[in-house]
Structure 1
Amino acid sequence: MTPATEDEWTGVHCRLDELLAERGMTLTRLSEIVGVSIVNLSVLKNDRARAIRFSTLIAVCQALDCEIGDLLVRADR
């Protein structure tokens, strides 16, 4: 994942925080399950990612038992 700069708007909101809360799961536990660093998941969670590998996206969705559209949504500024 590549962090977006502060002034760079991607138009995508990641609902990772909400999904983790709904499932009672921590970012640390998700990191262990999917094999992605906490730092990279945090970049995604805080809407600072500009890109995500499909393999990471699928692994996160499998771990959270959700669809891609549940995790990533179009955001208005």
Structure 2
Amino acid sequence: MMDIRERVDDRRASAEVLIYKGLTLREVEVLKWSAEGKTAAEVAIILDVKPRTVNFHISTAIRKIGACNKISAVVRATKDGVI
């Protein structure tokens, strides 16, 4: 069972993720799965959405992070401790 301190830390971490470059939680999830080498089709199955929805979130995250492609977005988010 998680104590109150751990729950506060988890909520703070979640808030920091959402604040980072204005990313939504779904965009962070998509970046995390991409960092693990999953394709958009695989992520779509995992998240129970359409592949085009995954591609939309990837494109939005790339734009918000200021990266030129998915790989550089994943690298920047990883370096910054977001994923």
Shorter-chain TM band: 0.3 to 0.5
Which structure exhibits the higher relative contact order, with contacts defined as CA atoms closer than 8 Å and separated by 6 or more residues? 1
TM-score (norm 2): 0.35
Structure with more strand by fraction: 1
Task: State TM-score, norm by structure 1.
Answer: 0.37
The higher radius of gyration belongs to 2
Tell me which protein shows more helix as a share of its residues. 2
